[in-house]
Amino acid sequence: MRKEWTLDQKSFERMLDWLDSDRERAGQRYETVRNRLIRIFASRGCAHAEDLADEAINRVCDRIFDVADGYTGDPVLYFYGVATRVHLEYLRRNARVVSLPPPDPPDDREVAHACLERCLGTFAPETRDLILDYYRESGQGKVGHRRGLAERLGVGLNALRIRMHRLRNDLHVCVERCLERESHES
54-67: pLDDT as tens digits: 999 999 999 999 98
Question: Whole-angstrom Cα distance, residue 56 to residue 34?
Answer: 9
Alpha helices in the chain, H assignment, sequence order: 9-19, 23-43, 49-67, 75-93, 108-120, 125-134, 141-153, 157-185
Question: Whole-angstrom Cα distance, residue 56 to residue 101?
Answer: 37
158-175: pLDDT as tens digits: 999 999 999 999 999 999
**Confidence check: pLDDT of 1 > 50:** no
**Confidence check: pLDDT of 38 > 60:** yes
- Cα-Cα-Cα-Cα torsion 39, 41, 44, 48, nearest 10 degrees, comes to -110
pTM of the model: 0.50
Compute the C-alpha angle 165/110/127, nearest 5°: 30
